[in-house]
A = this chain, B = another copy of it.
Amino acid sequence: MAQSNQKINAFFKIKVLSPEEKINWLRLARTELIGPKTFSEILQKYDNITQALEALPELVSKKHPKKSLKIPSVQDIHQELEQHHKLKADLIAFVEPEYPEILRHIADPPPIISVLGKRHLLQKPILAIVGARNASLNGKIFAEKIAKELGDYGYQIVSGLARGIDTSAHIGSLSSGTIAVLAGGIDHIYPYENKDLYYKVAEQGLIIAESPFGTIPQASFFPRRNRIISGLSLGVIVIEAAKQSGSLVTARFALEQGREVFAVPGSPMDPRSYGTNKLIREGATLIQNSDDVLSVVENIFKIQPPFQDRQKSKHSQETPLLNGKNDDRIEEILLNLLSSSPIGVDEIIRECHFSTSEIMLALLELELVGRIQRHPGGQISLKG
């Protein structure tokens, strides 16, 4: 046992890999059937990767005569390195100094990650913001706002480049530092509609991928990706998550990895609140603004405010929705009836005693001045 620990320690010594070492490292990492867990075990069994690469094929064929390890050739790896080079991406192995320290501590850290952009962001404290792809406008506004505030306060924001909440989180933190973790290869933009955002993050922030270059993500890749999002983070903020949302998977990983879980509550009438309310019931911290996150994170992790005064984020008082200058009685009543959760126009018509045409006209006016938002199925809600 002591001997094994010594080996681990020797192996885990942080160092920059030589080009040759990195090639071997990649060969092992790209070998079929060798996942992060197996890779860790191999690290513990062998003195170094070169030795492991030599010993493993024999070991496998001895124990499973019909199987053979498909280790990529040096040439294959050269090709992947060349692809990275062309994209201006790079690879960071688990033992290298640039590999994020916090990610080393999860149960199954990626042996090597592709990175594209400002790698130094990985050395700063990171918070994850995740949530529904079909987020409400309010949810997206909230995500962008809290990402910006936490970013201004010195935290890097990590998310998954997905539609909805992820997108807003990246946009909100573009200028302060945003990190996107992809499920496919570092070059594979998904969803493709986020092409522009991908390039912005690559330029102003950082893109990370565990999958080999060129990999098209399959459904099963997303949970694996999510463990990296939480693994990079001090805490995970979940904004809107329906039943069986991927964000709940990320939250579960966060708990397993000993990270904080924050959830934004929502109306039980909105299915997008199901997941976040469930998390709160199960013990996640209910948050309503960036201060709620900061007070927990700073308290628990005893992090020195990296950049700015604590006072500065106090500006984040939300402006009341219902204090409009609109004197019109119908509009006032409608605004009182509405909340951020979408509701059918027919229900509104039943509820207040105005004619349908009066109501429709008032709704149109409210829409034109940006007070309300329309949703599919004839539903409307207040706009944040």
Interface residues of A (CB under 8 A from B): 134, 136-142, 264-274, 277, 280-281, 285-289, 318, 320-322, 336-341, 343, 347-348, 351, 382, 384
Contact = CB atoms under 8 A, between A and B. Distances in A.
A339 B265 contact: no
Contacts of A264: 267-268
Contact of A138 (B277, B289, B339): B339
A288 B269 CA distance: 8
A338 B136 contact: yes
B142 A384 contact: no
Given A142-B268, A265-B267, 17 more contacts: A137-B337, A137-B339, A137-B347, A138-B339, A138-B341, A142-B269, A265-B268, A265-B273, A265-B277, A266-B266, A267-B339, A267-B341, A270-B339, A270-B340, A277-B286, A280-B286, A281-B285
Nearest to A267: B340
A289 B269 contact: no
Nearest to A145: B269
A134 B269 CA distance: 18
Given A136-B338, A137-B347, A280-B280, A286 B265 contact: yes
10 contacts: A134-B322, A136-B338, A136-B339, A266-B339, A267-B340, A268-B288, A269-B318, A269-B382, A271-B320, A271-B321
A274 B321 CA distance: 12
